[in-house]
Structure 1
């Protein structure tokens, strides 16, 4: 079974369907590349995938360690290169509970940095990850 199917709907928009759940997402080309920017661009999805993968792996580790990460959040920013047009850098900033011990912080940060998306991205894409404990 496929992971997803997609179709081009015109006007630089795609519609992708997750095979297992039926969830639909749309992509649009970004405004700076002839698009409408009305939805995630494919490179936005890559950037969001990095942050959500890191968060998911931290969640798995947190459950094992009996830590509550409810409310943890992140912001992601991508930086594009122009020649060739590609993602040059992804910045991810996590907001984490200040109550975590130094040992717990180390365990969670290591888990995040070794998530499957982080390990799958081209090494030329710089990954700047910051953890703010508030």
Structure 2
């Protein structure tokens, strides 16, 4: 079953439609790679996917353990290598001002994040620098 329908719109832009929900994501090449930079670049989406997957898996574990993650935020930084052009590092800084999680539950949440499906799917050459400020 098809998950996403993608179309090249020209001028280094793509349109991607999630079949089930009909939600749309546009990508543009970044300005440092001949693009307009008016939308997420494909490599931006890789970084956002890693962060979103980590948050989702932590959320699943939190729900099962009656832990509040409300207000969980993250800053994501993408670092590109030039030769060849590829993502060399993804830095994610999680912040949560208030939680009812115990120290052992926080350790469980961190492990869940670091072993999420996207984290495990990325090339091991991509450094995943993740910090948790809970």
TM-score, normalization: structure 1?
Answer: 0.96
CA–CA separation in structure 2 for the residues paired with 1:95 and 1:110: 16
Q: Show the counterpart of 2:104.
A: 103
Which runs of at least 4 in structure 1 moved beyond 6 Å after TM superposition? Answer: none
SS in 2 for 1:5: strand
Given that residues 69 and 97 in structure 1 are in contact (C-alpha distance below 8 angstroms), is that contact kept between their aligned partners in structure 2? no
Q: Which residue of the partner structure matches residue 52 of structure 2?
A: 52
CA RMSD, Structure 1 to Structure 2 (Å): 0.9
Q: Which blocks of at least 5 consecutive residues in structure 1 are unaligned?
A: none
Number of residues paired by the alignment? 133
1:102, distance to aligned residue in structure 2 (A): 1.0
Alignment of 1:72-83 (within 5 A): 72-83=72-83
- What SS is found at the alignment partner of 1:67? coil
Distance 1:110 1:60 in 2: 13
Corresponding residue number in structure 1 for 2:124: 123
Whole-angstrom distance in 2 between the partners of 1:97 and 1:115: 23
Structure 2 residue runs of 5 or longer lacking an equivalent are none
Per-residue CA deviations over 1:20-43 (Å, capped at 9, x if unaligned) read 110000000000000000000000
Match of residue 24 from structure 1: 24
How far off its partner does 1:98 sit? 4.5
Separation (CA, whole Å) in 2 of partners of 1:117 and 1:44: 14
Alignment correspondent of 2:6: 6
Q: Secondary structure at the match of 1:71?
A: coil
